[in-house]
A and B are shown apart, each in its own frame.
Chain A
Amino acid sequence: MKRLFSILFAMMLCIALAVPALAADAPLLYDGADLLTERQEYELLRRLEEVRDEYRVDVVIATVDSTGSYYVDDYVEEFYDQLGYGQGPNHDGVILLLSMEERDYRILSNGLAADAITLDEIYDIGDEIVPDLSDGDYADAFADFIELCVYEIDGEINGFPFDFGKSLLISLGIGLVAALIAVLVMGSQLRSVHARNTAGEYTRPGSMHLTRSGDLFLYRTVDRRRRPKESSGSSGRSGGSRNVGGGKF
């Protein structure tokens, strides 16, 4: 079944550019790296289809053994675009792609989902699921990914509910810090005896003379790190904005 799909996917990638109609209705779950049981696949796929039907947004999960010669950022974009994921004219959707050989994960959000899941949310979601991915609990990680996406998408469409617990916790935290600072300031008013460790006020006026001054350049080091990708999708089939981010697991 999986081998069949791999061949199908390769063929579709090649043909889809020429015949876009073939790319329609790609499955929302593609387990090319064979990480899930049949039962897990069935349950995840059912949930993904529920989400698509309720919000008109594709939430997609894909795993591959390797991205080959593709850089993983380019691969996930090709995967999403060439297989025709996304609902509506702006191709609203979000995809999580795992590349097992490189231990890379990437999340791409497109269209309406890009407004709901910005780069910050992508990294937040990544922080949530990476421990499970690292432990090999792929089904749990994917289930968490779906629900985190649903939370953000639902919030974007219907507005976020007032988070009573979070607001209370943050308010108590601010109150605690403010109270601590205030009583520390009040307490410090009672302490006026401090040793002086300097003699600056006894410097003879005009007595300082600089006779030696050198700034010798020794060497330089340059550190380079890949920047998180966030691009505006004004080209191709993507009408709205697009965010891509991720890391290692």
Chain B
Amino acid sequence: MSVLQQYKCPCCDGAIEFSSREQRMKCPYCDTEFEMETLEAYDRELKEESSDDMTWDTTAGGEWTEGEKEGLRVYVCQSCAGEIVTDETTGAASCPYCGNPVVMKEQFLGDLKPDFVIPFKLDKKAAVEALKRHYKGKLLLPKVFSQENHIQEIKGVYVPVWLFDTEAQANMRWKATRVRSWSDSDYIYTETQHYSVTRGGTIAFDHVPVDGSTKMDDALMESIEPFDFSQAVDFRTAYLSGFLADRYDVGSEQSVARANDRIRTSTEQAFASTVGGYTTLIPVCNHVQLKNGRAKYALYPVWLLNTTWNGKNYHFAMNGQTGRFVGDLPMDKSALTRWFLGIFGAVSAACFGISWLLWLL
């Protein structure tokens, strides 16, 4: 008696009907032949695959205690409408992001209290020195830009970030090939072996930060990572003295997507690194499920430097904990042309001379 069961062809995804009378299967669409055990094992792999689940507990931040908020002041930027928090002893005259004047709005109200803060370890002088180092060795930087060094303002700002902790359960599958070649006197043979590669397991992430402020450019904030969370302390308003603090305007729920993207990519890379010995590796499915995903609210220290040159704003940022300094710089187009033509001419002439000498020899 013949028992019919349908399998999916690993080569073309067509349906293969399996007859128990047969010992070897052949796909009717692509003519690829398979062992029975191979199709059964591949079928089990497909059934074991799960779907994505990237949900979080996004309740983060705490409640302010009695009297804690009273010493705080809120300033509103007249240009970008950004809101900055300081303590009552620290005045704010201009917006740290756009440099425009700010006005005191009211007594600080509402908002969540940060869970943690990483205090500033580096001062304003270190930021100025880092800026000078940042200019060095940049051959296409306009000289006048670095010589004038006209930084309009340097502000130490606590940037609000959401920190995500989670354990990721990963299930990955790839289509892989292993290629080998050999030849005899008449032919060159190329054999391609096709594999289905699966990996599964767990990996945990701690304190993946996502910028909680729309005024702070996400790429600028990510460029000065990483921050060392082991030096974070419980938040106290005393840490704000002498610095500004940005009020978060992106909630933890809205920040989840960015955290998921980064965690998913790193999870895929981590498990892909356990696969070796193949010529090609093409991902077929990669499912990530998160467990114990929770968010925290923290303030990270950043030195912000702003300048305007030729009508364009240039923003620089320094990690107030590690000193990592970033910021895009303008390009001197005439220097670009000079360098391009100089290198083009010199290398072409050198090559032509060498080719002529080689011909003489």
> A residues bordering B, Cβ < 8 Å?
162, 167-168, 170-172, 174-176, 178-180, 182-183, 186-187, 189-204, 207-227
Given the interface pairs A200-B266, A224-B187, the reply to whether A175 lies near B347 with Cβ below 8 Å is yes
Tell me if A175 and B343 are in contact (CB < 8 A): yes
Closest A residue, CB atoms, query B341: A179
Residue B311 interfacial (CB < 8 Å): no
Residue B45 interfacial (CB < 8 Å): yes
Residue B73 interfacial (CB < 8 Å): no
Partner of B198, one of A187, A194, A213: A213
Given the interface pairs A190-B138, A211-B202, the reply to whether A199 lies near B355 with Cβ below 8 Å is no
Which residues does chain B contribute within 8 Å of A218, judged by CB atoms?
10-11, 34, 38, 42, 194-196
Tell me if A219 and B10 are in contact (CB < 8 A): yes
Docked pose: A163 CA to B38 CA in angstroms: 60
Residue B65 interfacial (CB < 8 Å): no
Which residues does chain A contribute within 8 Å of B196, judged by CB atoms?
214-216, 218
Given the interface pairs A198-B266, A209-B201, A212-B200, the reply to whether A189 lies near B137 with Cβ below 8 Å is yes
Question: Which of the listed residues A197, A218, A221, A226 has the most CB atoms from chain B within 10 Å of its own CB?
Answer: A218
Closest B residue, CB atoms, query A183: B340
Docked pose: A221 CA to B206 CA in angstroms: 45
Partner of B208, one of A174, A202, A207: A202
Closest B residue, CB atoms, query A160: B359
Tell me if B339 and A186 are in contact (CB < 8 A): yes
Residue B29 interfacial (CB < 8 Å): no
Given the interface pairs A200-B266, A213-B274, A222-B189, the reply to whether A178 lies near B344 with Cβ below 8 Å is yes
Which residues does chain A contribute within 8 Å of B34, judged by CB atoms?
218-219
Residue B71 interfacial (CB < 8 Å): no
**Closest CB in chain A relative to B33 CB, distance in Å:** 7
Which residues does chain B contribute within 8 Å of A191, judged by CB atoms?
328
Tell me if B189 and A190 are in contact (CB < 8 A): no
**Closest CB in chain B relative to A225 CB, distance in Å:** 6
Given the interface pairs A196-B223, A219-B194, the reply to whether A210 lies near B201 with Cβ below 8 Å is yes
Docked pose: A35 CA to B348 CA in angstroms: 47
Which residues does chain B contribute within 8 Å of A212, judged by CB atoms?
48, 171, 198-201
Tell me if B261 and A216 are in contact (CB < 8 A): no
Which residues does chain A contribute within 8 Å of B112, judged by CB atoms?
none
User: What would be 11 A-B contacts, judged by CB atoms less than 8 Å apart?
Assistant: A171-B348, A179-B339, A187-B336, A190-B141, A190-B329, A193-B327, A199-B259, A208-B203, A210-B200, A222-B192, A226-B188
Closest A residue, CB atoms, query B39: A218
Tell me if B198 and A214 are in contact (CB < 8 A): yes
Given the interface pairs A193-B220, A216-B42, the reply to whether A187 lies near B140 with Cβ below 8 Å is yes
Docked pose: A202 CA to B190 CA in angstroms: 43
**Closest CB in chain A relative to B212 CB, distance in Å:** 16
Counting from the closest, the 9 A-B pairs by CB-CB distance are A175-B348, A212-B200, A207-B204, A171-B351, A179-B344, A171-B352, A204-B204, A199-B262, A175-B347
Closest B residue, CB atoms, query A73: B186
Residue B282 interfacial (CB < 8 Å): no
CB proximity to A under 8 Å, residues B131-147: 134, 137-141
Residue B53 interfacial (CB < 8 Å): no
Per-residue CB contact flags for chain B residues 315-338 toward chain A (1 = under 8 Å, else 0) read 000000000001111110000100
Given pairs A193-B223, A223-B192, 17 additional interface contacts (CB within 8 A): A174-B351, A179-B344, A182-B339, A182-B340, A186-B339, A187-B331, A187-B336, A199-B263, A203-B205, A211-B200, A211-B201, A212-B171, A214-B45, A214-B198, A215-B197, A220-B191, A222-B190
Residue B231 interfacial (CB < 8 Å): no
Tell me if A179 and B202 are in contact (CB < 8 A): no
Residue B153 interfacial (CB < 8 Å): no
Tell me if A189 and B206 are in contact (CB < 8 A): no
Tell me if A179 and B352 are in contact (CB < 8 A): no
Tell me if B326 and A224 are in contact (CB < 8 A): no
Which residues does chain B contribute within 8 Å of A180, judged by CB atoms?
340
Docked pose: A217 CA to B352 CA in angstroms: 53
Tell me if B217 and A193 are in contact (CB < 8 A): yes
Closest B residue, CB atoms, query A213: B199
Which residues does chain B contribute within 8 Å of A192, judged by CB atoms?
134, 223, 326-328
Given the interface pairs A200-B269, A212-B171, the reply to whether A225 lies near B349 with Cβ below 8 Å is no
Residue B100 interfacial (CB < 8 Å): no
Tell me if A193 and B203 are in contact (CB < 8 A): no
Which residues does chain B contribute within 8 Å of A196, judged by CB atoms?
222-223, 225, 262
Docked pose: A147 CA to B82 CA in angstroms: 77
Which residues does chain A contribute within 8 Å of B347, judged by CB atoms?
171, 174-175, 178-179
